[in-house]
Amino acid sequence: MFARRPGRDNALAPVGMGSHLDSQPTGGKYDGAFGVLAALEVLRTLNDLNYETLRPIEVINWTNEEGCRFAPAMLASGVFAGRFDLDYALARTAPDGASYGAELRRIGFAGEAEPGDHALAAFFECHIEQGPILEDEGKTIGVVTGAQGQRWFAVTLTGEERHAGTTPMPIRRDALVAAAQLVERIQRIALEHAPDAVATVGSLSVFPDSPNVIPGGVRLTVDMRNPDDSELSSMKEALLAALGEIAEASGVAIEHEEVWYTPPVPFDPDCIGMVREGAERGGYPHRDIVSGAGHDAVNIAAVAPAAMIFIPCADGVSHAEHESATPEDVAAGCDVLLHAVVSAANRR
Ligand code: HGY
Ligand code: MN
Ligand code: MN
């Protein structure tokens, strides 16, 4: 969704700013929404000041950033940036069977624009850090220099459903026991790739999910991340080795699909500089930081100069309902966004 404010020369490509409005099942009020509202606040401020930029500027809301209902994450910005084709994205289905395309049509979000025919001169995204670094260091602004790489997997374990009371332990092929061993191995892979690796099994379903049936099937997700691409590959290799070892030892069949790979992405040095100038001009304590979370700006960086502005969040908590940020930090983020966007929009 693009909301456009004309500039003096509307033949020039616009400067975009925004984030996403979708959330997690127990998400907070700031992840995504802060970035879209900050962009709207910049627009309103420019209108209040009757200030005209050379280039048009646009407030952008990217749909399906979280990827928890329709995997993978950052789906719409990925289509915009040509990292996913449109048919692939529209066909993505949720656990309840709904397709992304049908849902977009149902809520009136299915636009007619062709992906790729909307040039951006630059893109800036304001976001809470979603981690503890800025708060721990007493910094108000994170000058985001890039984002770490991610690999997502869907793993299916198939054992044998049998009676929980009559089946002797040695002959069982219990998919949930194999899955439990895998979850522990995945955590060990991250710890073995310290200090920067992270890995999470965030979703796990058991079939037939009955108290007195030995689980015949388990489906689980793996989210692996690392700022270093070769380390991320090494984590993937360790995962594949673990799948083979556990399948061999347990007699449970294990299949996996690599759902998504996004490499570490550096942001644009000029845009980073405009963010840093905005922080300095506002007198905000700031530091460079690499994003641990994925963001739409990471996809947009493939087709336009992009950068991000972080503000602290309480205890570094995000993807949880008690996620919060202070009004002062939110205002500082809006202020730096204003300066970065105006600086970019006044460049021919
Ligand atoms: O998962 C992420 O990094 C983002 O918050 N969607
Ligand atoms: Mn987000
Ligand atoms: Mn998020």
Residue 336 in tokens? 């730096």
Q: Which ligand is nearest to the CA of 293?
A: 1
Neighbours of 288 (CB within 10 A): 12
What pLDDT score was predicted for residue 192?
98
What mean pLDDT comes out for the span 146-174? Answer: 98
- Residue 289 to residue 129: CA distance in whole angstroms: 9
The arithmetic mean of pLDDT across residues 203-226, rounded, is: 98
In this prediction the pTM is 0.92
Q: What is the pLDDT of residues 17-45, one digit of tens each?
A: 999 999 999 999 999 999 999 999 999 99
State in Å: Cα 26 to ligand 1 middle: 13
pLDDT of 115 strictly over 90: no
Atom of ligand 1 nearest to the CA of 293: 3
User: Measuring CA to CA, which residue among 340, 345, 347, 346 is closest to residue 38?
Assistant: 340
Ligand that comes closest to the CA of residue 24: 3
Q: What is the rounded CA–CA span in Å between residue 263 and residue 277?
A: 28
Q: Is 294 in the pocket of ligand 1 (CB under 6 A)?
A: yes
Please report the pLDDT score of residue 52 as a whole number.
98
314, pLDDT greater than 90: yes
pLDDT score at 261? 96
Centre of ligand 3 from the C-alpha of residue 166, in Å? 45
For ligand 3, the distance from its centroid to the CA atom of residue 24, given in whole angstroms, is 7
Name the residue at shortest CA distance from atom 5 of ligand 1: 293
Centre of ligand 1 to C-alpha 30, Å, is: 13
pLDDT confidence band for 112 (50 / 70 / 90): confident
73 CB near ligand 1 (under 6 Å): yes
Task: Assign 129 a pLDDT band (cuts: 50, 70, 90).
Answer: very high
Instruction: State the pLDDT at residue 36.
Output: 98
| Residue having the nearest C-alpha atom to atom 6 of ligand 1 | 66
CA angle 199, 203, 204 (to 5 degrees): 115
Residue 220 host element (H or E): strand 217-226
Atom of ligand 1 nearest to the CA of 68: 6
CA of 20 to the centre of ligand 1 (A): 11
Nearest CA to ligand 1 atom 4: 294
- Residue corresponding to tokens 């061999």: 248
Provide CB contacts within 8 A for 224, sequence distance 6+: 150, 151, 152, 153, 186, 189, 190, 197, 198, 199, 232, 235, 236, 239
Amino acid code (one letter) for 105: R
User: Which ligand 1 atom is nearest residue 73's CA?
Assistant: 6
Share of the chain above pLDDT 70, in %: 100
169 CA to centre of ligand 3 in angstroms: 42
74 falls in which pLDDT band (50, 70, 90)? very high
pLDDT at residue 343, as a whole number? 98
Beta-bridged to residue 323, according to DSSP, are: none
Whether cis (ω within 30° of 0) applies to the bond prior to 327 is no
1, 67, 223, 288 from 4: Cα distances, Å: 10, 26, 35, 30
Q: Is 224 close to ligand 1, i.e. is its CB under 6 Å away?
A: no
The pLDDT assigned to 117 comes to 86
CB-ligand 1 contact for 66 (6 Å cutoff): yes
Q: Quick one: pLDDT at residue 282?
A: 97
* Confidence category of residue 114, pLDDT binned at 50, 70, 90: confident
CB 94 within 8 A of CB 106: no
For 84-98, write each residue's pLDDT tens digit.
999 999 999 999 999
